[in-house]
Structure 1
Amino acid sequence: MSGTSGGPIRAAIVGSGIIGHNHALAMLRHPRLRVDAVVDPDAAANAALADRITGNGGADPGRFATLADAFADREIDLVVICTPSGMHVEAAAESLAAGKHVVIEKPVDVSLPRAGHLVKLAREAELRGQVCAVISQHRFDPASVAVAQAVAQGRLGTLTSAVASVAWWRSQAYYDSAGWRGTWELDGGGATMNQGIHTVDLLVWLLGQPTEVFAYTGRLAHERIEVEDVAVASIRFASGALAVLHATTAAYPGLSVRLQIHGSRGSAIINDDQLEYFYAAPDADAPDPAGPVNLAAAEVPAADLHGAAKPADNFIVGHLRQYDDIVNAIDQGTPSSIGVSDALLALAVVKAIYLSAELAQPIEVQTVIEGAFDTNGTEDHP
């Protein structure tokens, strides 16, 4: 197994597209991370990513067409997988077998059977001290952390409901820019899988085990894609709480991601990663407030209140927070905070949404999860 002994963690980025660039910029800011290799069969994409790395103060990385080539040439500790979603598990399995730590950009994959297989591989690797993490950077946003702590402390009382909306816009040119975009095989879905899955992850993190989903999906504003550009779903949780999820890439010109969490003693609203509203009754016998009281400023720093100016590098900072967690896990020889099993649950909810929309009936999430460990290898897209 690759080891670091407190020294630099030498990383290979697999997939030199847009997400690979974002990961590189985040890693360049971490004092322990060093990008030593970029891996992509597209030589021009590798060159562009290498130039981005050196242009931001990093050493010139090796450029390789395959992971095998990179492993043969470089001592790699960590593999960061930024390929199209349908290729994630293949690269992760190869890297874990080679003794490397692994980071996978969301979603963990587009296939539940493949994701279930990776859960088993990751558990075995963790026993060897390897880390296998999946990017869910919004769990590390200060607003998300504040709400999660309030939920865990019971300050919101019994959680009763949630409303989540991802109202984004993607042009036709976005989908036309790469042959894999908008396909079931490699994109795994549309607005729900690619844009909405982070919000799905926050829902299951905050509200607990989802039990049932009923959904509709549509393709209303785009052409030449197989997947949905709008989805709406109702989700029931084991606690009895109910949630409404809306995800779209057909909300011109693109609005915010908004998550409302409601309970018997308090409510919270996260809007575009910042805390817009927070109120929790001071005790169970507190009288109802005379009006809408917003105590968000007492929960997060001013920079994380909704309306505060976001830095231009906000997206990079989000990934950097999770990389702090990943590096700590590597140093300690412990699993990262967000592993493959966590990512599989969010993927199962997305798959349940697609299956419900296809069959026009409620879908039990546990049944979908069990399908992830089906050994026949059957693919599961509609």
Structure 2
Amino acid sequence: MSQKMRLAVIGCGAIGKVHAKAITGLDEAQLVAVSDLRPENATKLAAEFGCNAYTDYRQMFEKEKPDLVSVCTPSGTRMDICRAAADAGVNLLVEKPLDISVERMKKILQTAEAAGIKLGCVFQLRFMPVFSSLKRAITENRFGRLIIGNAATICYRSEDYYKNGGWRGTKAQDGGGALMNQGIHNVDLLLWLMGDAKSVYAYADHLTHDIEVEDTVTAAVEFVNGAVGTIQATTSVYHGINKKLEIFGTDGAAIIMGEDPVMWKFNEPLEGDLSFLQGKESEQKGLSPTSPLIEDVSEHQQQILDMINAIREDRQPAVPGIEGQKAVELVLAIYKSAETGKKVNLPLEN
């Protein structure tokens, strides 16, 4: 068996703990260190997972020499960390969103490319069987021409969620609200399945929370391939569905509610379609409409393992950094449209 790769985590909050748990469950990896500006956070997580604690990630890079680091800090803080990692020759797996501006994301990509390191962005839902099956059906042209793609993230976050986090719901560090933070997973899935977006027209507002950014947004999307669709996100609805994805083509239709297919129909049915649709409800516990906590880390494990294999095989990861940029760029275009009341074309300028 190959020697275990040395992995580290920067940011010891809720999502940092998810990465630590995922890493320690992999035979191919060893969690050597965690880092957080708050020493109590770093010490607590390090004690839980049996690794070293740091408050200075540069010092961690120098002493621990990790092969790969998970960046789990607030959204608007990641560019400088990525630069430091690249300077140290450390490969990067960055939590969504990659960062909060086109300019900052481009600098991250350029820095990683110049340093010759691998850069991945966390969109773990791509590794769920239901979504990989959906992608495969599109690739095999079972849908025919894609006509409509809709994505909705209808969930709830309390006022305390925003206040206690400090950075959540702020333009400077969160970069946005319901769409940038919660809805971006569905944004990525929609782009992955439907292809690049050409233009958007949107409305956004904060309807129930006292925050700087939106807690509710709806947008009409035009895709490069001529298809159209919608994107919706809110953190104001307690009895939500977390996520819903609809793909309609000339020859097929699929609706995924949460992680469960509720429609799976094609002009040319295949053996296994019925059993796929009628399979037992998903036992995945990764995401909840009312809680930001992730219990099941299996998809994070799969993405981390893909990063490890990408490093060993010297290939691009399954979700490279450019995919993270595309998702954020679409979110920013939606915000711009909502602010100006006009259609916004993609790609965006800096």
TM-score (norm 1): 0.86
Shift of 1:297: 4.1
Shift of 1:79: 1.2
CA contact (8 A) 1:142 1:300 kept: no
Match of 1:32 in 2: 28
Q: Is 1:104 matched with 2:94?
A: yes
Q: 1:139 to 1:234 in 2, by over 3 A?
A: same
Which of 211, 230, 236 is residue 222 of structure 2 equivalent to?
A: 236
Q: Deviations over 1:320-346 (max 9, x none)?
A: 121221111011011111111111111
Alignment-mate amino acid for residue 265 of structure 2: Y
> Which entry has the higher C-alpha Rg, 1 or 2?
1
CA contact (8 A) 1:159 1:264 kept: yes
In 2, distance between residues paired with 1:8 and 1:209? 37
Match of 2:315 in 1: 334
CA contact (8 A) 1:233 1:244 kept: yes
Which of 107, 114, 125 is residue 117 of structure 1 equivalent to?
A: 107
Q: How does 1:248-267 map to 2 (within 5 A)?
A: 248-267=234-253
Determine helix, strand or coil for the equivalent of 1:315: coil
Shift of 1:73: 2.2
Q: How does 1:1-382 map to 2 (within 5 A)?
A: 6-53=2-49, 60-125=50-115, 128=116, 130-223=117-210, 225-282=211-268, 296-299=273-276, 302=279, 307-310=281-284, 315-366=296-347, 368=348, 371-372=349-350
Q: Deviations over 1:130-156 (max 9, x none)?
A: 211110111111111111111111101
Q: 1:185 to 1:219 in 2, by over 3 A?
A: same
Name the Cα RMSD after superposition.
2.0
Q: 1:297 to 1:256 in 2, by over 3 A?
A: farther
Q: 1:295 to 1:218 in 2, by over 3 A?
A: farther
Determine helix, strand or coil for the equivalent of 1:276: strand
Q: Deviations over 1:245-298 (max 9, x none)?
A: 110000114433100000000011122123232111118xxxxxxxxx997544
CA contact (8 A) 1:278 1:294 kept: no
Q: Identity of counterpart residues, as a percentage?
A: 32
Determine helix, strand or coil for the equivalent of 2:96: coil
Q: Deviations over 1:344-379 (max 9, x none)?
A: 11111000000000000000012x1xx24xxxxxxx
Which consecutive aligned stretches of 4+ in structure 1 deviate over 3 angstroms post-superposition? Answer: 293-302, 308-315
Match of 1:286 in 2: none
In 2, distance between residues paired with 1:295 and 1:28? 35
Alignment: residue pair count: 343
- Greater Cα shift, 35-44 or 270-279: 270-279
In 2, distance between residues paired with 1:164 and 1:295? 25
- Greater Cα shift, 249-258 or 353-362: 249-258
Q: Deviations over 1:283-319 (max 9, x none)?
A: 8xxxxxxxxx9975444893xx5x3433577630111
In 2, distance between residues paired with 1:274 and 1:160? 22
CA contact (8 A) 2:150 2:190 kept: no
Q: 1:142 to 1:80 in 2, by over 3 A?
A: same
Q: Deviations over 1:88-118 (max 9, x none)?
A: 1211111011111111000000121010111
In 2, distance between residues paired with 1:273 and 1:365? 29
